[in-house]
């Protein structure tokens, strides 16, 4: 018992130190977001004092001068739209793949799994060209592209969960006169709620923080996401408004951190639920 207690204390100390190391950069950015620009480079690791305090001026500059609110709006639109489309389309695809055992569905499943191991760098230039020529370089067009890149993981997780759903439930619904579409939305979808939540969280964090795909695809003269707007805060001749960047980083990071902390328990539940059967 004493040995287990010591091991538990050591583990707690180690993970506490690791947690502090991971949180420290966010705290540094938060402190500097309230400092005057000149002191961010001179005293980056000191707490804001009366001499260095700049209040919310950095946040107002990021919003008014650099149009951060517009970027937040487009980011929310792209994230919500992409996640909803991914969840609906991939869950229906996974249900079809699992219940209809044919060579086509097996090949479709393998293609979805294979897409997870294809590096984005292999297709990014071709993707950018195709998006420009087909009119997908808009916030509503990029949702289709996110569906393609997010389908692999989502289909994989949904397929694992659908295998754990008793087939007798669906057979009973068919006897009662349910058509496939009504059966999915009335019976299968509510049962898949744990995986819906976990996949939704993972996809939301990916789309919200993504920089490279919107940068390559979107028409940047009209549309910018948060990550791109922060990149454009760099001025000419290497001039950087560090105060506004620090404030923008906090505004970009805090929402997704709160979202993750509120929903993190559902990730484990969803993954465990999808691993019941192979």
Q: Which residue in this structure is represented by tokens 């204390």?
A: 9
| Residues in Cβ contact with 152 at an 8 Å cutoff, skipping those fewer than 6 apart | 112, 113, 114, 115, 116
Q: CA dihedral in degrees (129, 135, 138, 141; nearest 10)?
A: -100
| Residues in Cβ contact with 25 at an 8 Å cutoff, skipping those fewer than 6 apart | none
Tens digits of pLDDT across the chain (278 residues): 566 677 778 778 888 888 888 888 888 888 888 888 778 877 788 888 778 887 788 888 888 877 788 888 899 999 999 999 999 999 999 999 998 888 998 998 988 888 888 888 888 888 888 888 888 888 999 999 999 888 888 998 898 888 888 888 888 888 888 888 888 888 888 888 888 888 888 898 899 988 889 998 888 888 889 888 888 877 655 577 788 888 888 888 888 888 877 777 766 665 555 544 44
How much is the pLDDT for 91? Answer: 92
Domains defined for the chain, CATH in brackets: 59-274 (1.10.3720.10)
Mark out the alpha helices in 135-179 (DSSP H runs): 142-162, 167-175
How much is the pLDDT for 276? Answer: 47
Beta bridge partners of 240: 234
Cβ contact 58:33 at 8 Å = yes
Question: Would you tell me how many other CB atoms lie within 10 Å of the CB of residue 158?
Answer: 26
| Residues in Cβ contact with 86 at an 8 Å cutoff, skipping those fewer than 6 apart | 146, 147, 150, 151, 154, 199, 203
C-alpha closest to that of 154 among 118, 120, 204, 191: 204
How much is the pLDDT for 146? Answer: 92
How much is the pLDDT for 94? Answer: 92
């Amino acid at each position: 018992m004493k040995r287990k207690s010591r091991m538990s204390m050591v583990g707690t100390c180690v993970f506490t130190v690791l947690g502090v190391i991971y949180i420290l950069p966010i705290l540094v950015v938060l402190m500097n977001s309230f400092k005057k620009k000149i002191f961010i480079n001179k005293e980056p690791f000191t707490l804001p004092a009366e001499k260095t305090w700049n209040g919310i001026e950095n946040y107002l500059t990021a919003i008014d001068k650099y149009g951060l609110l517009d970027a937040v709006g487009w980011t929310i639109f792209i994230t919500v739209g992409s996640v909803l489309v991914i969840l609906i389309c991939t869950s229906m695809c996974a249900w079809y793949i699992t219940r209809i055992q044919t060579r086509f569905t097996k090949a479709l499943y393998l293609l979805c799994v294979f897409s997870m191991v294809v590096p984005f760098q292999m297709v990014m230039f071709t993707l950018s060209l195709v998006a420009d020529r087909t009119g997908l370089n808009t916030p509503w067009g990029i949702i289709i592209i996110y569906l393609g890149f997010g389908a692999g993981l989502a289909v994989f997780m949904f397929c694992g969960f659908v295998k754990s759903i008793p087939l007798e439930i669906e057979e009973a619904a068919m006897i009662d006169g349910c058509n496939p579409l009504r059966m999915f939305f009335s019976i299968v979808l509510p049962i898949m709620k744990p995986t819906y939540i976990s996949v939704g969280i993972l996809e939301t964090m990916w789309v919200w923080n993504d920089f490279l795909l919107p940068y390559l695809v979107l028409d940047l003269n009209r549309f910018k996401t948060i990550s791109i707007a922060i990149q454009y805060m760099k001025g000419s001749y290497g001039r950087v408004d560090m105060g506004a960047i620090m404030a923008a980083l906090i505004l970009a990071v805090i929402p997704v951190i709160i979202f993750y902390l509120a929903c993190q328990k559902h990730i484990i539940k969803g993954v465990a639920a999808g691993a019941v059967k192979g």
